[in-house]
Chains A and B, each alone.
Chain A
């Protein structure tokens, strides 16, 4: 079943603000991925993280692989209207080699 919990569940922010969201697990994960899903479409990969402590950026997006290997964080700087969508974490568990998607964070950017 579902092992990845994301928070917050939803966010409403003003254009230009920074955004932070996180993903947590009760068990260790070996890989963390962050995807974005636009309405009516499939998810698109944003960032992949492969080792504890890793910090990776993709434009205005920055993601980190938590030191405990049980969490990951995604930050978006200077948000713009096209950042609207649902952000999912996904990961490969350290036990059992299972792949899971998180519960999602819905982001609304108010112009």
Chain B
């Protein structure tokens, strides 16, 4: 299995631009998570989907952030408009079962820099 696939691996954009991060979970996994990692705030859970439905989006910072999961094999995290404080590494993870405590398999991350 290829594991969780994220694209792009690196993204550099200017403030105000729209950014779309993509994730392909492991085939057969039913839960998908988006995280943000920064030096200041560590790893933060942004949103959790189960069977393509958002279960917990309490970690989404503000309305500029949105996430979708149109099918079991694809999810996007969109930031519009982007701001310099959004610069971080964004991880996608998937797991087989519902809930947070089943083994989550993380992708390699997308390093986002907003100038």
List chain A positions with a Cβ less than 8 A from chain B: 2, 31, 33, 40-45, 48, 50, 88, 92, 98-104
Contact of B101 among A31, A41, A43, A102 (CB under 8 A): A31
B108 and A41 form a contact (CB under 8 A) = yes
Which B residues lie within 8 Å of A40 (CB)? Answer: 108-109
List chain B positions with a Cβ less than 8 A from chain A: 4, 35, 41-45, 48, 58, 91, 93, 100-101, 103-104, 106-109
B100 and A102 form a contact (CB under 8 A) = no
Question: Given contacts A33-B101, A42-B93, A92-B101, is CB(A101)–CB(B44) below 8 Å?
Answer: yes
A48 and B42 form a contact (CB under 8 A) = no
With A and B bound together, what is the CA distance between A41 and B91 in angstroms?
9
Which B residue sits closest to A99, measured CB to CB?
A: B100
Which A residues lie within 8 Å of B35 (CB)? Answer: 101
